[in-house]
Amino acid sequence: MRKNSIKNIRVNAEVQHELSNIIRNEIKDPRISTMTSVVAVDVTPDLKFAKAYISVLGSKEEQENTIKGLKSAEGYIRRQLASSINLRNTPQITFVPDRSIEYGVNMSRLIDEVNGNLSDKEETEAEEEFEEEK
């Protein structure tokens, strides 16, 4: 199986889906934030290893605690994954913090701020032009 084959893409999607369900519904570790999402999963072609990109909406401390909680529950998660997905090998999961959602939220906020400043500036310019016309 090649890295970007259709089969590998399907395995990645299925592991991502099941991993999301396991994290959301089955893990009771208080360190794991409720605002945790599995952004992507990259399973090696031999199905022995997987990188799970985890995004946590919250403070840096919450992100670190969530990754620590997931690492400590790795054996349980792997067993649950093995029982829900029928694969030849159940991959050993490495949890990698992903900052893309946080980055997107920050960029969206910055764009809104810039647009807000521009609309304020346009309003004051329009008001000034109106005053000059009088």
pLDDT tens column, 38-85:
999 999 999 899 999 999 888 889 999 999 999 999 999 999 999 999
pLDDT in tens, 95-130: 999 887 778 888 888 898 888 776 666 666 666 666
Report the domain count for the chain: 2
User: In this predicted structure, what is the pLDDT of residue 57?
Assistant: 82
Neighbours of 126 (CB within 10 A): 10
Q: Are residues 35 and 47 in the same domain?
A: yes
Are 86 and 115 members of one domain?
no
pLDDT score recorded for residue 125: 66
Q: How confident is the model at residue 86 (pLDDT cuts 50, 70, 90)?
A: confident
Distance from CA of residue 85 to its chain's centroid?
A: 21
**Domain that residue 107 falls in:** 99-134
Instruction: Record the tokens describing residue 13, joined without a space.
Output: 């999607």
Q: What is the CATH number of the domain that holds 10?
A: 3.30.300.20
**Lookup: tokens for 44:** 């090696």
- Interacting residues of 65 by C-beta distance below 8 A, sequence separation 6+: 31, 32, 33
pLDDT at residue number 88: 83
Q: Answer yes or no: do 21 and 79 share one domain.
A: yes
Q: Are residues 116 and 91 in the same domain?
A: no
The structure's pTM equals: 0.73
Same domain for 103 and 89, yes or no, is no
